[in-house]
C-alpha cells in the first residue's frame, strides 16, 4: 500500500489519506477503518492510478456521498476512491450537461432550474453524487436518473466505454453498473427548457418542504433501508409489525419514516445489521414477504 500511496503522490494524481474510517465518508456514520482513501483531481489521473492499482490484489471501493452505504465494523484492507475533489463538476450548454462523478445531483437540479431548465427537480432532495445516482438509478417523485440520462462513460475490465442509457439495464434502484462493477467516469444529461419560468425552482421548494416533513433528514441515516416490494411500501410493512421507533442499542427505526433506519449516535454496523435482520424475519413471518435491503453493504 505504501507503494500505491507513493505512486499517487509522486505523479501528483490527487490527495491520499490514511487513518480515515467509513464514519468519515458515509451519512449514517458507521463502519471501520479504511487503509487508504484516494481523491483524484482529474478523471485522467484516476485512470492512471487505476492502471497501476490493477497490478495489486487489494479491494477497491468507490464512494460518493456515502448516502446509501453501510460498511462493516471491520477494517477495510484496500483503497476507497472519492471523486469529490475533482477539478470540474460539470459543463453545460443550455439544457445539455456533461457531469463528472463527484458532482452533487442537488447542485445540478438547482443550477439548471435557476437557468430555466426543468426535469431534474426530483434530484433536489437526494444527497447523491452523479456517480452514485447513476449506479443506484436514484429516483423520487415518479422520476429516476435514467429519465434524464443520455449516455455515460463507464470503466470496466476492458477499459472506458461510452454506453447509451438504453444499454444500461436500469430498473428500480438497479443498473448494469451494479451487475458488472462498472465505474462511472462521466454522465450526459438533458434538461428541458421551461415553458413557465421559475416553475422548476418552485417545485424544488415544494419537494424540499415535503421531504423535511416526511423524512428524518436531520438524523444520521442512509435513505430508505429496504426496496419497496411490488405494489407495496416497505414502511407500511414495518409499521404493521409494530417496529416504528424500535431500537437495538443505538440503531433505531425512525419514528418519522419507518423505512429509514437511523444511527442515534454511536451505533455500530453490527447493531444496524441486527435491526435489519430482525425486521426481515418479522416481515417474513407475518406477511411471507422477503424484504430486500436497498443499502450497499461493504466489507462484510
Ligand X SMILES: Cc1cc2nc3c(=O)[nH]c(=O)nc-3n(C[C@H](O)[C@H](O)[C@H](O)COP(=O)(O)OP(=O)(O)OC[C@H]3O[C@@H](n4cnc5c(N)ncnc54)[C@H](O)[C@@H]3O)c2cc1C
Three-class DSSP category at 136: helix
Residue 216 CB, nearest approach to ligand X (Å): 7
Which residue, 4 or 63, is less far from ligand X as judged by CB? 63
Q: Which of 62, 54, 55, 12 is nearest to 34 (CA)?
A: 62
237 binds ligand X (CB under 6 A): no
> Which segments of 82-159 does DSSP mark as H helices, in order?
105-114, 130-136
62 binds ligand X (CB under 6 A): yes
184 binds ligand X (CB under 6 A): yes
The secondary structure of 214-282 as a DSSP string is: HS-TTSEEEEESBPPPTTS-HHHHHHHTT-TT-EETTEEE-SS-TTEEEE-SS--HHHHHHHHHHHHHH
228 binds ligand X (CB under 6 A): no
Which residue, 112 or 126, is less far from ligand X as judged by CB? 126
The residue from 46, 50, 65, 90 that contacts ligand X (CB under 6 A) is 65
By CB under 6 A, which span of 112-120, 160-168, 193-201, 217-225 interacts with ligand X? 217-225
Q: What is the dihedral of CA 60, 64, 67, 73, to 10 degrees?
A: 30
By CB under 6 A, which span of 39-47, 85-93, 216-224, 238-246 interacts with ligand X? 216-224
Three-class DSSP category at 154: strand
138 binds ligand X (CB under 6 A): yes
The residue from 13, 21, 46, 68 that contacts ligand X (CB under 6 A) is 68
Site for ligand X in 88-117 (CB under 6 A): 101
Residue 140 CB, nearest approach to ligand X (Å): 4
Residue 25 CB, nearest approach to ligand X (Å): 8
Chain-centroid distance of CA 188 in Å reads: 18
Q: Which of 95, 65, 92 is nearest to 80 (CA)?
A: 65
The residue from 34, 39, 136, 276 that contacts ligand X (CB under 6 A) is 136
- The whole-angstrom separation of Cα 191 and Cα 183 is 24
By CB under 6 A, which span of 132-140, 162-170, 234-242, 266-274 interacts with ligand X? 132-140
Interior/surface letters 111-139, b for 16+ CB within 10 angstroms, e for the rest: bbbeebbbbbbbbbbbbbbbbbbbbbbbb
The residue from 22, 50, 117, 135 that contacts ligand X (CB under 6 A) is 135
CA contacts within 13 A on the Cβ side of 75? 8
254 binds ligand X (CB under 6 A): no
39 binds ligand X (CB under 6 A): no
Which residue, 27 or 41, is less far from ligand X as judged by CB? 27
Please enumerate in sequence order all residues whose Cβ is within 8 A of that of 92, keeping only pairs 6 or more positions apart, or say none: 98, 111, 112, 115
> Residue numbers of the site for ligand X (CB under 6 A)?
27, 61-69, 83, 101, 126-129, 131-133, 135-136, 138-140, 177, 183-184, 215, 217, 221-223, 296
Amino acid at each position: 500500500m505504501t507503494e500505491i500511496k507513493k505512486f499517487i503522490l509522486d505523479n501528483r494524481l490527487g490527495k491520499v489519506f490514511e487513518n480515515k474510517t467509513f464514519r468519515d465518508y458515509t451519512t449514517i456514520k458507521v463502519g471501520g477503518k479504511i487503509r487508504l482513501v484516494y481523491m483524484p483531481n482529474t478523471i485522467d489521473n484516476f485512470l492512471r492510478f487505476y492502471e497501476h492499482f490493477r497490478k495489486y490484489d487489494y479491494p477497491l471501493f468507490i464512494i460518493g456521498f456515502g448516502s446509501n452505504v453501510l460498511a462493516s465494523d471491520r477494517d477495510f484492507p484496500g483503497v476507497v476512491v472519492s471523486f469529490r475533489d475533482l477539478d470540474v463538476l460539470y459543463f453545460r450548454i443550455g439544457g445539455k450537461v456533461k457531469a463528472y462523478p463527484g458532482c452533487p445531483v442537488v447542485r445540478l437540479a438547482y443550477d439548471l432550474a435557476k437557468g430555466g431548465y426543468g426535469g431534474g427537480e426530483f434530484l433536489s432532495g437526494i444527497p447523491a453524487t452523479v456517480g452514485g445516482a447513476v449506479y443506484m438509478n436514484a429516483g423520487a417523485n415518479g422520476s429516476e436518473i435514467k429519465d434524464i440520462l443520455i449516455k455515460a462513460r463507464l470503466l470496466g475490465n476492458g477499459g472506458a466505454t461510452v454506453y447509451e442509457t438504453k444499454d444500461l439495464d436500469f430498473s428500480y434502484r438497479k443498473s448494469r453498473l451494479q451487475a458488472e462493477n462498472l465505474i462511472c467516469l462521466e454522465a450526459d444529461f438533458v434538461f428541458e427548457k421551461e415553458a413557465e419560468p421559475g416553475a422548476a425552482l418552485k417545485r424544488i421548494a415544494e419537494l424540499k418542504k415535503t421531504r423535511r416533513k416526511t423524512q428524518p433528514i436531520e438524523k444520521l441515516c442512509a435513505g430508505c433501508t429496504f426496496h419497496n416490494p411490488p405494489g407495496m411500501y416497505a414502511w407500511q410493512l414495518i409499521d404493521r409489525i409494530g417496529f416504528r421507533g424500535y431500537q437495538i442499542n443505538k440503531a433505531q427505526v425512525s419514528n418519522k419514516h419507518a423505512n429509514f433506519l437511523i444511527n442515534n449516535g454511536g451505533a455500530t454496523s453490527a447493531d444496524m445489521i441486527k435491526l435489519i435482520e430482525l425486521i426481515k424475519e418479522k416481515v417474513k413471518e407475518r406477511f411471507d414477504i422477503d424484504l430486500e435491503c436497498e443499502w450497499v453493504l461493504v466489507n462484510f
